[in-house]
Amino acid sequence: MTKDLTSGKTLIQILNFSIPVLFGYLFQQFYNVVDTIIVGKSLGVEALAAVGATGSVNFLILGFCVGLCSGFAIPVAQSFGALDYRKMRRFLYNAEILAVGFSVAVTALTVIFCRPLLQMMQTPPDIIDRAVQYILIIFWGIPFIFLFNMVASILRAVGDSRTPLFFLVVSSILNIALDLVFILVFHWDVAGAALATVVSQGAAGVVCLFYMKRKFVILKLNHEDKVPDRTLMKSLCGAGIPMGLQYSITAIGAVVLQSSLNALGAAAVAAVTAAQRIQMFFNAPYDALGTTMATFGGQNAGARKWDRLKEGVFKSSLLGLIYSIISLGIMILFGRHLGMLFVDGGEAAIISDIHRYLVINGFFFFPLALVNIVRFMIQGMGFSSFAILSGVLEMIGRGAAAVFLVPAFGFAGVALAGPLAWILADVFLIPAFYYCLGRLRQTPVEERLVA
């Protein structure tokens, strides 16, 4: 049930691995979109704005959790590519210990500082109580988020992108069903939407874990594998923490931008919330290519297949370019109609802002594709610290938009924040990839593998 990505036709390998990942992301975004539609249509614009006001905080915290789990899987992928299965299982056991510790610590901190953080972001008084109610439940569910993403990352590290897809589909369907029950039947307001997300994620994580333990013989831990090892934990943290921080540092810029957006009022927040839900759905292929590059880069770095690393970046970028052109056309032609999924047709100003946001971002989707492809490839190659630097540049881009573009151009300034962040990151990442590749060529494998 594992897949070796170190041989065979590169484009075919990338497509075979990334398509299940893509469907997983699409289903994940599908239930995010449905969740937002249900909230906006049944609870109104203020409820939609309350959920949207937590978006950057959500990204700040949960992005760290997801990045950490993805980083923990990199040494696993490298060991798998190097055919060192015993070390792979030892990495797995120590990653489990770290994931438990981090999940407890992050949950405690976020629950305590939830409201002060939203207040610091100037969340409008008329929506802050509902925003706190929503995000607090999400934060209590952080251990489930760790569980599912840790298991999914490990399975992808050994080449299985189909099993996480199956459980994401089940989780998405369950989430939608619970949304309808909790919001429309039980009338639990935005808390119902948050609880539906936590319950569905938890169920998927638990079942996926049991499935992995039973079906993946190569991942079954023996008694000698279950030994806490500080050296291995240090290596795991060296791969995971920079990857998690990259998400969080990027999100700091989003938090600063959210504060500027909040000052524009609830209608602007609602428009950006709806536009970002649509955009995340269309950006799923870029996320899938990024996830694929992390595993592809890890396995091929472990196997010392340098030419395949370059080929993987080039062919993935070509796929990203083709898709970016198609997406832009859809945004221009149908962006207004997509916006009407979230708010009533009478909200003409909000619908217009949604369309404007989507078109502005659509013109810069290819730089976004490169961010995902190159950054995750670099991380898979074992240079996770570079993720922090690219995240800093994204943070600077969004922060600059909040300080200069939003006061000057209002809502259009908010829409330009993402493109500015992506371009700044690409300016660093593209030469960084070639630098990292040169370092790999010069360094013996026993010194290069994260171990």
Determine the length of the chain: 451
- The share of the chain scoring above pLDDT 90, in percent, equals 46
In a domain, 1, yes or no: no
What was the pLDDT predicted at 2?
67
Tell me the residue range of the domain where 302 lies: 10-448
In a domain, 123, yes or no: yes
- Pull the structure tokens for residue 60: 């700040």
What was the pLDDT predicted at 262?
81
Examine the pLDDT at 270 and tell me if it is beyond 60: yes
Q: Measured between alpha carbons, how far is 394 from 425 in angstroms, rounded to an integer?
A: 6
Q: pLDDT: is 445 or 204 the higher one?
A: 204
Per-residue pLDDT averaged across 239-256, rounded?
A: 80
Per-residue pLDDT averaged across 243-253, rounded?
A: 78
Residue in 50, 30, 31, 54 with CA at minimum distance from that of residue 40 = 50
In a domain, 2, yes or no: no
- The pTM score is 0.76
* Residue pLDDT, tens place only, 198-210: 999 999 999 999 9
- Pull the structure tokens for residue 125: 């008084």
Q: Measured between alpha carbons, how far is 309 from 10 in angstroms, rounded to an integer?
A: 9
Residue 55 contacts residue 273 (beta carbons within 8 Å): yes
- Return the minimum-mean-pLDDT range out of 162-176, 312-326, 434-448: 434-448
Examine the pLDDT at 128 and tell me if it is beyond 80: yes
In a domain, 303, yes or no: yes
What was the pLDDT predicted at 244?
86
Buried b (16+ CB within 10 A) or exposed e, 121-159: bebbeebbebbbbbbbbbbbbbbbbbbbbbbbbbbbbbb
What was the pLDDT predicted at 451?
38
Examine the pLDDT at 13 and tell me if it is beyond 50: yes
What was the pLDDT predicted at 388?
79
Examine the pLDDT at 422 and tell me if it is beyond 90: yes
* Inter-CA distances, 112 with 62, 118, 139, 162, 281, Å: 16, 12, 10, 37, 31
Which are the contacts of 233, defined by CB distance < 8 A and separation ≥ 6?
94, 97, 98
Examine the pLDDT at 449 and tell me if it is beyond 70: no
Q: Measured between alpha carbons, how far is 81 from 100 in angstroms, rounded to an integer?
A: 26
- The share of the chain scoring above pLDDT 70, in percent, equals 97
Per-residue pLDDT averaged across 37-46, rounded?
A: 82
Per-residue pLDDT averaged across 243-262, rounded?
A: 79
- Return the minimum-mean-pLDDT range out of 120-129, 233-242, 354-363: 120-129
Which are the contacts of 13, defined by CB distance < 8 A and separation ≥ 6?
5, 296
Position 441, amino acid: R
Cβ-in-10-Å burial (0-12, 13-18, 19+) of 209 comes to middle
What was the pLDDT predicted at 233?
95
Top-confidence range, 212-216, 321-325, 396-400: 321-325
Confidence of residue 448 (pLDDT cuts 50, 70, 90): very low
| Average pLDDT score over the chain | 88
Per-residue pLDDT averaged across 284-302, rounded?
A: 90
Per-residue pLDDT averaged across 387-403, rounded?
A: 87
Per-residue pLDDT averaged across 436-446, rounded?
A: 76
In a domain, 96, yes or no: yes
In a domain, 379, yes or no: yes
What's the domain count of the chain? 1
What was the pLDDT predicted at 239?
87
In a domain, 3, yes or no: no
436 φψ region: left (φ > 0), alpha (ψ -120 to 50), beta (else): alpha
* Residue pLDDT, tens place only, 328-352: 999 999 989 988 887 777 778 899 9
* Inter-CA distances, 412 with 45, 59, 156, 272, Å: 20, 22, 38, 11
Alpha helices in 158-229 (DSSP H): 162-179, 189-215
Residue in 297, 18, 259 with CA at minimum distance from that of residue 117 = 259
Q: pLDDT: is 250 or 377 the higher one?
A: 377
What was the pLDDT predicted at 78?
86
Count helices and strands in the chain by DSSP H and E runs? 19, 0
Quickly count: other Cβ atoms within 10 Å of residue 207's Cβ: 16
In a domain, 4, yes or no: no
* Residue pLDDT, tens place only, 54-91: 877 887 888 899 889 988 998 998 899 888 999 999 99
